Amino acid sequence: MDLKSRVKQLRQQTGTSAAPRKSADLGARLLRLQTRGRRCAPAVSPVSEGRLAERLGGQVLDQGVLMVERRVALSEMHGDMPISILHHQPLYLPGMGGRVTSTAPHGQYRQTTDEVAVPVGDLLFMDTETTGLSGGSGTLVFVLGLGRIEGDYLILRQYLLTTFGGERSLLDLAGNWLRGGETLVSFNGKSFDVPLLQTRGCLSGVPDPFGKMPHLDLLHPLRRVFKDRWPNCRLANAERKLMGFHRLDDLPGAEAPAAWFDWLRHKDSRRLIGVLDHNRSDLISLAVLLPLLVKVYQSPLRYEADVLAVARSWIREGQTDTALSLLEYGRSKLSRNGLMELARLWRNQGCWESACGVWWSLARAGDETATEHLAKFHEHVTGDFDAALRLSLKLTRSSASRRRCQRLSDKLNRLSKQVG
Partner 1 sequence: MSLNAISTRNTEADPVIELSRRLKSKYAGRITGELVISEHPGRYASLPIDLDMRISKALLSRGIRQLYSHQAEAWEFARSGQHFVVVTPTASGKTLCYNLPVIQSVLNDQAKALYLFPTKALAQDQVAELLELNKAGGLGVKTFTFDGDTPGDARKAVRTRGDIVVTNPDMLHQGILPHHTKWAQFFESLQYVIIDEMHIYRGVFGSHVANVLRRLRRICRFYHADPVFIFCSATIANPGELAARLLEEPVQTINESGAPRGRKQLLLWNPPVVNPDLGIRASARSQSHRIARLAIRMGLKSILFARSRLMVEVLTKYLKDVFDKDPRKPPRIAAYRGGYLPTARRETEGRLREGSIDCVVSTSALELGVDIGSLDVCVLNGYPGTVAGTWQRLGRAGRRNRPALGVLVASSQPLDQYIVRNPDFFLGASPEHARIDPDQLLILLEHVRCAAFELPFHRGEQFGREVLEELLVYLEEEGVLHQEGDQWHWTADSYPANSVSLRSVAEGNFVVIDTTGGAQLVIAEVDYTAAPGTLYEGAIYMIQSRPYQVERLDWEGRKAFVTRTRVDYYTDAIDYTRLKILESFERSTEGEAETAQGEVHIVRRFAGYKKIRYYTHENVGFGKINLPDQEMHTTAVWWQIGVAMLERVFDNRQQALDGFLGAAYALHHVAALLMMSVTRDLGRAVGDGDGTWFGTVGADGRGQVRGKDGAELDPAAQGRFRPAVFLYDNYPGGVGLSAPLFDHRGDLVTQAAGMVSDCDCTRGCPACVGPILASDETRGYSPRQSALKVLELLKNGS
The full DSSP string for 71-119 is: EEETTSEETTEEGGGGGSS----TT--HHHHHHS-TTGGGT-HHHHSPP
| Phi, psi for 313 (deg, rounded to 5) | -60, -40
Helical H segments across 151-306, by residue range: 167-177, 193-204, 219-226, 235-238, 256-266, 270-298
- Using CB under 8 A, count the residues that bind partner 1: 39
Among 27, 46, 107, 132, contact with partner 1 (rule: CB under 8 A): 132
Q: Which listed range, 195-203, 210-218, 219-227, 312-320, lies at the site for partner 1 (CB under 8 A)?
A: 195-203
Q: Which listed range, 15-23, 70-78, 302-310, 378-386, lies at the site for partner 1 (CB under 8 A)?
A: 15-23
Among 57, 164, 250, 415, contact with partner 1 (rule: CB under 8 A): 164
Nearer to partner 1, 133 or 400 (CB): 133
Among 137, 335, 348, 349, contact with partner 1 (rule: CB under 8 A): 137
Does residue number 351 form part of the binding site for partner 1 (CB under 8 A)?
Answer: no
Among 89, 198, 299, 320, contact with partner 1 (rule: CB under 8 A): 198
Window 290 to 319, contacts with partner 1 (CB under 8 A): none
Does residue number 138 form part of the binding site for partner 1 (CB under 8 A)?
Answer: yes
Euclidean distance between CA atoms 373 and 342, whole angstroms: 13
Among 120, 173, 264, 273, contact with partner 1 (rule: CB under 8 A): 264
Q: How far is the CB of 415 from partner 1 (least distance, A)?
A: 50
Euclidean distance between CA atoms 271 and 258, whole angstroms: 9
Question: How far are the Cα atoms of 115, 170, 363 from residue 182, in angstroms, in the given order?
Answer: 16, 19, 51
Among 40, 74, 258, 351, contact with partner 1 (rule: CB under 8 A): 258
Does residue number 199 form part of the binding site for partner 1 (CB under 8 A)?
Answer: yes
Instruction: Quickly count: other Cβ atoms within 10 Å of residue 284's Cβ.
Output: 24
Cis peptide before 195 (omega within 30 of 0): no
Q: Which listed range, 17-25, 54-62, 99-107, 222-230, lies at the site for partner 1 (CB under 8 A)?
A: 17-25
Residue 385 · residue 415 · CB < 8 Å: yes
Residue 373 · residue 387 · CB < 8 Å: no
Residue 131 · residue 107 · CB < 8 Å: no
Residue 146 · residue 124 · CB < 8 Å: yes
Nearer to partner 1, 6 or 229 (CB): 6
Does residue number 121 form part of the binding site for partner 1 (CB under 8 A)?
Answer: no
Residues at the site binding partner 1, with contacts judged by CB under 8 A? 3-4, 6-7, 9-16, 18-21, 24, 131-138, 140, 163-165, 195, 198-199, 202-203, 257-258, 261, 264-265
